[in-house]
Structure 1
């Protein structure tokens, strides 16, 4: 039922122990500040995305994209270990679900970020 639910919703988010392995938090060998900068650079380079606000103190960033709204949370867990989580909501007008678009967006964001930062592990694994 969990996999089916990700297709019949307009919102997906990552967390440490998500039942879907592809939606688990990613941890990187970097500082919170450098991770936030890397996410900002990545989003600015992607077509159709624009950073609307950044709170360095809270480690949060809001991004507007084509038909999506993304909130990124960056948390320094320990020195040189930082977690990055995404919350993606699809702006659907006629139907209340996105057929997995929000999940695909998260997967694509992690794939890009994994190329920019040294990946350590996904949530729930070490």
Structure 2
């Protein structure tokens, strides 16, 4: 209960391997890093409320801004662990007058992950220990 309240009362969220919240665990896709980066770029270009800020395929980093309904800055890191197994980590910070986003940053991560599941083959979350 306390962790749920803490999640709501902050203005950023990020994924990690062993996150206590299942929605914020690192998602894995059956694709190479370039395919993931291409899918992310396509996704951002298709959405009117997303604005591409930068992309570095060599480093596996991608950044974009969510412009509505609330502003948020998103950094995505794609890491290929072995051929056709790529982990994607998100870091989302919201811009608001208050120091809280009431779970909006978590919702952005969830929405982008679900969109990617439609474009790439999803294989699970937090799979690092199974490598």
TM-score for both structures, normalised by structure 1: 0.94
Question: Could you tell me how far apart the structure 1 residues matched to 2:126 and 2:58 are?
Answer: 23
User: Counterparts in 2 of 1:47-66, with a 5 A limit?
Assistant: 47-66=48-67
| SS of 1:99 mapped into structure 2 | coil
How far 1:86 sits from its partner (Å)? 1.0
**Cα shift at 1:44:** 1.2
Please say if 1:106 is aligned against 2:112. no
Map of 1:1-126 to 2, 5 A cutoff? Answer: 1-66=2-67, 67-93=71-97, 95-124=98-127
Residue 41 of structure 1, CA deviation: 0.6
Give a deviation string over 1:19-58, Cα, whole Å, max 9, x none.
0000011100010110111011111111211111111111
- Residue 54 of structure 2 aligns to a residue whose secondary structure is strand
Question: What is the CA–CA distance in structure 1 between the aligned matches of 2:106 and 2:53, rounded to whole Å?
Answer: 21
* Distance across 2 between alignment mates of 1:61 and 1:11: 17
TM-score (norm 2): 0.91
Q: What do you get for the CA RMSD once the two structures are aligned?
A: 1.2
4+ runs deviating over 3 angstroms: none
Residues matched between the structures, number: 125
1:8-27 deviation digits (Å, cap 9, x = unpaired): 00000001110000001110
> Gaps spanning 5+ residues in structure 2: where?
none
CA deviations 1:62-82 (Å, max 9, x no partner) are 101121000000001100100
Which one is further off, 101-110 or 116-125? 116-125
